[in-house]
Structure 1
Amino acid sequence: MTGVEVRGLTVTVGDRDLISDVSFRLTGGEITALVGESGSGKTTTALALLGETPPGAVLSGDVAVDGRVGFIPQQPAAALNPVRRVGSALAEVARLHVPKTQVRQRVLESLRRAQVPDGERYLRRFPHQLSGGQQQRVVLAQALIGDPALLIADEPTTGQDPVTRARLASEFRAVAEQGVAILLLTHDLDLVRALAHRVLVVEDGRVRPSDVESISEALPVAPAPPQDAEPVLSVRDLTAGHRGTDTLHDVSLQVAPGERLAVLGRSGSGKTTLARCLAGLHRYRSGEVRLGDEPLSPVLRRRSRSQLARVQYVFQDARASFSEFAPVLDQVARTAERLRSLPRDRARARAAEELAQLGIPEATARRTPAGLSGGELQRAALARAVLAEPEVLICDEITSGLDARRRADLLDVLAKLQHNTGCALLVITHDLAGVAGLAHRVLVLDEGRVVERGPASDVLTSPEHAITRALLDAGSAGRET
């Protein structure tokens, strides 16, 4: 039977162990969940199984793998070439494993196994034409092309809706049943409960076995909505798309100061396109977006500096939103310099303060992005947006890469931010538990159209549309497994 044997694995940078004396076994046909807080060493452990380490690190110990290893990174965009079509990229991988005459068949089969419907129509697309969930499934297909003995999945459900997560869980089960060992790095406890045969917890670079029930989290209670107020952001009949195809159809919404609106929907439903239109990052075809009484240009560069500060966007792929060459602290401080005209020293002090409140000490913030975990970069991206003192904060799946405690901390920070500033919050999310504890109102998209909207307490307890019920049922199934 295939498997992996790890003995005394240690990764050291200078005089500090990132992971220390780690030993465990992964058995073919079993799914092992590796859980822990952001920055605890999960990704470092997984990459060490591939023989990869951070710059300047020293790897010691023994790792024996019986066969090929497939790896799915936390941010799927990192594994996709932005200038190559999906079909071309997958075909290049397939040619390493099968004869030329079987390449197309292997590509389409891998897409099917990765829950990509109608794989043919994705082959001509570029990565930027896919939603985050679609990108994740394409990366899964890429990993499956080589029939790996070990599949390492780093936060595979990041940015995916409950229906897609349930499908992905089904695919992982099917892969494991074929004798493949799966190491699942995740904060998604629903996924752990649904899939894992065993659980390993990473704490301060050390690994110990655990029972998933001991780290489960309770569903929070929805907050009371704010008092009625004039909207700070209004959207009317917004239509937008890609390459002549509309993916948003006549979407209208309003958000008041201090209000929290959650936008739900399956991957590819148009949520991120909507958010990017509001932020001036995607030109819409028709409709209107207003900030208070001011119309907002569809194009970011045509918005005033005041408007740029008043509407801030936190990207789903936090790592891609930072330059890889400059310290994170400097990049966060730059917002206060450019949009609030603060002197550099004061801007850096403000940035360090905001980052510390989100659990990122200044010593960590002085590193380049490569030195921070995915969860730390998500919090840094939030701090960068907060320094602009926005009236509208748009957050695209910002809690998806965080563990339970960090996610709760981040939601608490957002609540305090609104209490102190009265800004409106628009959250793009698949995290139903987070929605229940954060949102005042919910808007549900399907195929670019609004199919349901209303108070969170009503929509999440008595959904009227089939899509909303499917999202909730999928989330509930994961929690009950």
Structure 2
Amino acid sequence: MKRDSDVDEGPVAEVSGLRVEIGGRAIVDGVSFRVLPGKVTALVGASGSGKTTTGLALLGSYPHGARVTGEVRVAAGERVGHIPQHPATVLAPARRIDALLTDIARPRVRHLPRGRRRAAARTLVVRALTDAQIPDAEHLLRRYPHQLSGGQQQRVVLAQALLLGSRIVVADEPTTGQDSLTKGRVVEQLAAVAARGIAVVLLSHDLEVVRALADEVVVMRAGKVVESGPSPRVWAAPRHTWTRELLRSGEESPSFDDALRVGPPALSVRGLTARHSGARYAASTAVVLRVPELDLGAGECLAVVGRSGSGKTTLARCLAGLHRGHDGEVLLDGTPLPRSLRDRHRAQLAAVQYVFQDAQAAFDEHRSVLHQVARSAVRLRGADAETARREALTTTARLGLPEDTVRRRPGKLSGGELQRAALARALLARPRVLLCDEITSGLDTVTRRDILRTLTELVRERADMSVVLITHDLETAALAHRLAVLDAGEVVEQGPAQEVLSAPRHPFTRSLVGSLERPAARTGP
């Protein structure tokens, strides 16, 4: 089907023989491709393959100390927008969303009389948020970035790019951390952006999103392009063995069913009501989560699903002692846990470990990853430094991180590599309960499969460890024993995962399951 944007125009950007070296090591090696107006060019590959470095080259941004050769040409006068993989890094934490977006909108209304500028800027901001699939824009504008879920932060950054009026948009994992309903809307939005003649460079691990959006696909591995071509051809007849492995791994997932053994409750929730802190929230609007009762069996995997902002992360933070503003009880083996992390003793801290969605923000940028992973065993278990270092190297290697990688500082690792390091750090505490907040959402299909397989193996070895999977991905949730569905801060359904997914009772659960239908691939003219 021919789109309005399918016109014979030259490229708005072109990358030719790009090579980026850091410390003599090439992280991008000889990459070439063209960016056409109205087209979606997808860069796909494993974590650390060079996708993000290549995409940022279009903005003229390179890692500190990099040696760059080759050529990156952007057409004169064209502005390049950027949607980063970790949206919190570009949202000023001390400013409300209203102020952040209004600053971007103001230059576009300077031609208006002074008395009309404020209202006009507000209209632009609300329109951009609506286009970015944020329905309750007025309510969200009053919040600070830390009060938003990862998916909401991602959509605010998309709104920033739309406000800038960019003719090229580099979208780095724009659907990471999004529920399936919102993911579909983001796909529709980016398709609409391309239909208006804007070039989209999509960096993504999500092959279904790439299938639905991309006109051209560039497959990368270890900094090199191993295959490229029109999207329909790449999907139908992949030529390189790595491309075939990526496609095959998307259809293979280990199951927790054989790896975990259900036992008596290890963690219980009773009468939990969580609120946002701060005097500016009225009592009637402060409640963000209500969980009357929830149990996690020893050796059990519980998946918690729902839309962005439904309260999934707030629930995990309450369990971990990171959200003090709640009533009710969280019990570990029948004993109430202090609400605040600060009041929990070392054994309690070790028992409940949190793996954050934004792994980059969870690491100290000035210390090596190996030091920080090993520190978990020293601080929480009293292990000596050498024993902790050996355990850290063994665990990170098992998760696919070689020693030369973990000896670097966090800024030298990709998002997927940092996510694996964060999981290793939590495992070194030998927890009773492992809280995994979207730990596979930013991973390629091969790494996702390997991480889940390794996690099930580790739990098989430690049958007393339970897992809470906070996820937007129903295919990942289907691997768990039980499933809890959140909507607008309420548990609307829970039960055995396969039972809930095969015969959902609540209308919201039915809508989530219905959104699992695979999107049709875009076709060329």
TM-fit CA distance, 1:241:
1.6
Structure 2: stretches of 5+ with no match in the other structure: 1-8, 237-243, 278-282
Partner in structure 1 of residue 200 of structure 2: 182
Give SS of 1:89's match.
helix
Deviating beyond 6 angstroms after TM superposition, the runs of 4 or more aligned structure 1 residues are none
Deviates more, 1:111-120 or 1:91-100: 91-100
**C-alpha deviation, 1:222, in angstroms:** 4.8
Alpha-carbon contact 2:256-2:301 (below 8 Å) kept? no
Question: TM-score, length-normalised on structure 1?
Answer: 0.96
* Matched pairs, number: 480
What corresponds to 1:270 in structure 2?
Answer: 311
- Alignment of 1:344 onto 2:378: no
Matched, 1:402 2:411: no
Matches within 5 A, 1:111-260: 111-207=129-225, 208-209=227-228, 211-212=234-235, 214=244, 215-216=246-247, 217-218=250-251, 220=253, 222-224=255-257, 227-243=261-277, 244=283, 245-260=286-301
Equivalent runs, 1:406-421 vs 2, <5 Å: 406-421=447-462
SS state at 1:453 partner: strand
- Report Cα offsets for 1:8-36 as digits up to 9, x if no partner: 21112233221112111111111111100
Post-superposition shift, 1:432?
A: 1.6
Quote how far apart the aligned CAs of 1:143 are: 1.0
**Residue ranges of structure 1 left out of the alignment (5+ in a row):** none
What SS does structure 1 have at the residue aligned with 2:518? helix
CA distance in 1 between counterparts of 2:363 and 2:222 reads 26
Question: Deviation per CA, 1:153-181, whole angstroms, max 9, x where unpaired?
Answer: 11111111000101111110111111000
Q: Which residue of 2 aligns with 1:369?
A: 410
Q: How many Å separate the matches in 2 of 1:479 and 1:223?
A: 30
**Match for residue 434 of structure 1?**
476
Q: How far apart, CA to CA, are the structure 2 residues paired with 1:407 and 1:250?
A: 30
Q: Which moved more, 1:227-236 or 1:294-303?
A: 227-236
- CA 1:103 to 1:331, structure 2 compared with 1: closer, same or farther past 3 Å? same
- Match in the other structure for 1:460: 501
**2:83 aligned to which of 56, 68, 72:** 72
CA shift for structure 1 position 251: 3.6
Deviation at 1:60, TM superposition (A): 2.0
Q: Which residue of 2 aligns with 1:14?
A: 23
More displaced, 349-358 or 12-21?
12-21
CA shift in 2, pair 1:219/1:474, >3 Å: farther
In structure 2, distance between residues paired with 1:332 and 1:462: 42
C-alpha distance in structure 2 between counterparts of 1:464 and 1:220, whole Å: 26
CA–CA distance in structure 2, aligned partners of residues 284 and 156 of structure 1: 31
> Is 1:238–1:284's contact at 8 Å kept on the other side of the alignment?
no
Correspondence for 1:91: 102
* Greater mean deviation of Cα atoms: 219-228 or 268-277: 219-228
State the secondary structure of the residue aligned to 1:401.
Answer: coil
| Separation (CA, whole Å) in 2 of partners of 1:357 and 1:398 | 16
- Who is 1:39 aligned against? 48
1:62 equivalent to 2:71? Answer yes
Q: What is the distance in 1 between the residues matched to 2:72 and 2:397?
A: 37
Alpha carbons 1:335, 1:387 under 8 Å: kept: yes
Secondary structure of residue in 2 paired with 1:326: coil
Counterpart-to-counterpart distance in 1, 2:162 and 2:306: 27
Cα shift at 1:286: 1.6
Aligned-CA RMSD value: 1.7
1:446 pairs with one of 478, 482, 487: 487
Question: SS at the partner of 1:475?
Answer: coil
CA shift at 1:197, angstroms? Answer: 1.2
Deviation of the 1:227 alpha carbon: 4.9
Q: Does the residue aligned with 1:464 lie in a helix, a strand or coil?
A: coil
1:289 paired residue among 330, 350, 375? 330
- Residue 220 and residue 463 in structure 1: after superposition, are their counterparts in 2 closer, same or farther (change >3 A)? farther
Of the structure 1 ranges 182-191 and 464-473, higher mean CA displacement relative to structure 2 is found in 464-473
Compare 196-205 and 248-257 and name the one that shifted more. 248-257
1:19-34, aligned counterparts within 5 Å?
A: 19-34=28-43
TM-score by length of 2: 0.88
Distance across 1 between alignment mates of 2:406 and 2:326 = 40
Give the Cα separation in 2 of the matches to 1:14 and 1:306. Answer: 41
Instruction: Please say if residues 52 and 203 of structure 2, whose CA atoms lie closer than 8 Å, have aligned partners that are also in contact.
Output: yes
Report the AA paired with residue 82 of structure 1.
Answer: P
* CA displacement, residues 434-453 of structure 1 (integer Å, 9 cap, x when unaligned): 222x2011110011111111
Mapping 1:290-329, distance limit 5 Å: 290-329=331-370
Deviates more, 1:265-274 or 1:45-54: 45-54
Structure 1 counterpart SS, 2:516:
helix
Amino acid at match of 1:212: W
